[in-house]
Each structure stands twice: as C-alpha cells, then as structure tokens.
C-alpha cells in the first residue's frame, strides 16, 4: 500500500474535537503504520484525534473518521457536535441501512469460520504473515476477525457506523486500523492505500 488516503479538502474546522487528557490513544504505537497507510510524513495520535500532516481527523472509539463532515451519519454529527447534513439522499440511506444492519447482526458466529475458509480457500493464509490487508466495506468486521490472525496488520474501512461494530468485534486484535471513510473517491491502486 502506498500513496495517500483521501483527505478532507481543508484542515479540520476549528470546532474539531480537541485533544483531551486520558489514557494513551490506541494508535500511539502505530505511527509508522499510519504514516504508510496515509502516505504521510507526520502522524500524531492524540486522545480523541489523529493529526496527519497538519490535518485533524476525529478519533471516536478508536475509529479514525476520514469522512467529510457533510458525510457524517446523523448520530456521528450529534456525537461530534457539528457537520452539517447535505448529501445525496440515496447515499445517506445506504449508509444508514448498512450501519443498522451490522449494528443489529453484530456477532461473529462459530460457523462463520468455516464460511471464511470457503470464501478464501484460494489464498495461502499462512503466506500472509508479513502482509497488510485492507477490508473495504468491512461491515461488522466478520472476515477481518479471521483474516487478522494471519496477517501483520489489517485496515478496516467502512463509511457506515458498522465500523464501530467492527471495532468492538476486533477489540482483542492489536494489529488493526479502523477507518470510517468512503472508498468511492479513492484514486488508482498505485496512489491509494485502499
């Protein structure tokens, strides 16, 4: 993965969450990984936010929010105290319904591992030990839950609130990066990490 993740067009507005005192952020020991994922020179994880080459991204429950504020789901806008609505109604509906689906069906089931093995039977899982995987549209993180056992690190991306469910599903995994982002604006594979 090389290149830069889609960034807001401008630095975060002054109303962005300020760093708050508290325990070391989840990403404190992941700055090198984050530099690579974001294609950034400077990455500074702080409580409640991540600063990437001067751009501030809110971090909520260990999820890096890379959506434009106008693309935040309503409950995220309420949590962060800002971000005007104003997007395509179809996109809002998809974002809401996908998020709701995975908030409703939020458990990894015992039979899911057998399904995972069937879905990924062509992949040499043991050969992924030094790999970074990316799960685009990860939903509640079911496949990442199993794949994370085999890889060095995994980046989970979803534009719905399902990403927060994925964080909970992956609570014990220390090799995961959680990003709330829309993959549609990503550039070509040679210039984008996702």
pTM of structure:
0.78
Distances (CA, A) of 147 to 37, 62, 81, 85, 176: 18, 19, 35, 35, 11
Using one digit for the tens of pLDDT, what is the confidence trace for 93-109? 666 666 666 666 667 87
Q: Are 7 and 67 in contact (CB under 8 A)?
A: no
CA atoms within 13 A on the CB side of 88: 4
Residue 6: pLDDT above 60? no
The predicted structure's pLDDT at residue 24: 63
Q: In the CATH hierarchy, which fold is given to the domain comprising 26-180?
A: Rossmann fold (3.40.50)
Bridge partners of residue 61, in order along the sequence: none
Percent of the chain whose predicted confidence (pLDDT) is above 70? 70
The more confident residue out of 160 and 93 is 160
């Amino acid at each position: 993965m090389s290149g830069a993740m889609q960034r807001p067009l401008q630095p975060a507005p002054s109303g962005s969450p300020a760093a708050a005192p508290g325990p070391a952020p989840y990403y404190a020991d992941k700055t090198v990984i984050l530099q690579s994922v974001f294609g950034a020179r400077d990455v500074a994880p702080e409580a409640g936010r991540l600063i990437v080459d001067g751009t501030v991204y809110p971090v909520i429950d260990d999820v890096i929010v890379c959506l434009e504020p106008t693309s935040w789901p309503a409950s995220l806008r309420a949590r962060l105290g800002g971000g005007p609505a104003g997007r395509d109604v179809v996109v809002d509906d998809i974002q809401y319904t996908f998020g709701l689906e995975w908030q409703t069906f939020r458990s990894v089931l015992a039979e899911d591992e057998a399904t995972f093995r069937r879905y990924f039977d062509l992949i040499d899982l043991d050969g992924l030990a030094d790999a970074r995987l990316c799960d685009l549209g990860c939903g509640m993180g079911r496949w990442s839950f199993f794949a994370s056992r085999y890889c060095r690190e995994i980046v989970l991306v979803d534009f719905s609130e399902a990403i927060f469910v994925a964080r909970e599903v992956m609570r014990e995994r220390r090799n995961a990066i959680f990003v709330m982002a829309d993959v549609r604006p990503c550039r070509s594979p040679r210039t984008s990490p996702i």
